[in-house]
Amino acid sequence: MTTYQQYQEEIARLRRLADAARQVDIARAREQILDIMRAHGLQAADLDVGMPSSGTRRRRPTVQYRNAAGEIWHGLGRMPKWLAGKNKADYLVR
C-alpha cells in the first residue's frame, strides 16, 4: 500500500516536472513573440504593455451636512436617519 509520504514525494516530483515544462513553454512563447516583433519591425517600446494606468482618481465629495454628534452626509445617496424629516438647512456646513 502506498503511504502518505510516498504520495507527497510523487506530488513534489510532478510539481518539478510541471515547473520545468512551464519554463519550456514560456521560452517558446517568448521566442514566438520576438519572431513576430522582428517580422513587423516592432520594439518593446512600440507596445502598450505594462501596468495599466490607474486612471483619474475621483475626489472625495465635500461634507454638506453635519449634526451635533459629528455625523456627516455628503448629500449623495440615501438620506441618513438622523437627518430624515428635519430641515436640511439647519445642518448645512458653511
Cβ–Cβ under 8 Å, residues 91 and 69: no
The amino acid present at 56, given as its one-letter code, is T
Q: Which residue has the higher pLDDT, 66 or 1?
A: 66
CA dist., res. 34 & res. 43, Å (int): 9
Answer yes or no: is pLDDT of 51 > 70. no
Residue 87 dihedral angles phi and psi, to the nearest 5°: -80, 115
Mean pLDDT value of segment 9-15: 97
How open is the CA angle 68-73-78, to the nearest 5 degrees?
A: 125
Mean pLDDT value of segment 35-55: 82
CA neighbor of 74 nearest in space, from 92, 52, 53, 48: 92
